[in-house]
Amino acid sequence: MSIGEWLDERTGFKKYWETKKKLLIPDHVTFFYCFGGISFSILVLQLLTGLPMLFFYIPRPEEAFNSILYLSNEVPLGWLMRNMHRWGATIIIATLMTHMANVFYHKAFRRPREFNWLSGFTMLLIVLLFSLSGSILPWNWRSYWVLAILVDYVATFPVIGDAVKWMMLEYFTISRSFVIHIFILPLLSTLLLAFHFRMVKRHGISGPL
């Protein structure tokens, strides 16, 4: 008995995979329908490249940037991990926007897929928060101005703008941004994606116009 057969006997993975391969893909599905899956793949890649960086990043203002320099210049393949993570954060926004535009174009937000749209749009906002919080973590001059511009932008919100700006300035620390980036946002993403995929599986791929 091979290792694959031994694993399959206990997990049933081969049968599960064969069942999935038999699922039919509607004729109207084009490449543009793939951007949701592409976005998810990039998100997984962000997780895989982010985990090793946790072992080298130091969430303190005086050491944050130096720890990034050490990762990029001294750690084997550290430059690759950081650049894949950095570029992935940019590319995923483009793929998510394309996915949202495709969903909107095909009117896939209509009944009964309202929760698909709402969970997907919320996920886009979380990815933007991922990008913003990640940009702040190196705490160099670029990180400082990202925070400054973000705070000024938040202050323009009606009614709550000034209060949110005060909270951000009063309670901001690198370590809190780090916790938000590696724990709170991933937890929210996991819950939202589980719900989003559940809704997609329930309602299927939207039909042609």
Helix locations, 74-206, DSSP H: 78-105, 114-136, 141-154, 161-171, 174-179, 185-203
Q: What is the pLDDT of residue 132?
A: 93
pLDDT of amino acid 78: 96
* pLDDT over threshold 90, residue 145: yes
Residue 208 in this model has a pLDDT that exceeds 80: no
| Banded pLDDT at 167 (limits 50, 70, 90) | very high
User: Which of the 8 DSSP states describes residue 96?
Assistant: H
96 pLDDT above the threshold of 60: yes
What is the overall mean pLDDT for the chain?
92
Rounded to whole angstroms, how far apart are CA atoms 130 and 53? 15
Domain spans in the chain, listed from the N-terminal domain onward: 30-203
Kindly report the number of other CB atoms within 10 A of residue 149's CB atom.
Answer: 11
Confidence of residue 19 (pLDDT cuts 50, 70, 90): confident
pLDDT of 65 over the 90 cut? yes
How many CB atoms sit inside 10 A of residue 132's CB? Answer: 17
> So what's the pLDDT on residue 4?
80
Average pLDDT over residues 76-102: 96
At residue 204 the predicted structure's pLDDT band, cuts being 50, 70 and 90, is confident
Measured CA distances, 44 to 10, 36, 37, 38, 51 (Å): 26, 13, 11, 10, 11
pLDDT band for position 61 (50/70/90)?
very high
**pLDDT of 10 above 60:** yes
Q: Which comes out higher in pLDDT, residue 29 or 114?
A: 114
Is residue 24 scored above 80 in pLDDT? no
Mean pLDDT of 48-57: 96
Residue 38 pLDDT > 80, yes or no? yes
pLDDT digits (tens, 9 = 90+) for 168-198: 989 999 999 999 999 999 999 999 999 999 9
- Which listed CATH number (1.10.10.10, 1.20.810.10, 1.20.120.530, 2.30.30.760) goes with 30-203? 1.20.810.10
Predicted local confidence at residue 151, as pLDDT: 93
The H or E element spanning position 23 is none
* Residue 209: per-residue pLDDT: 52
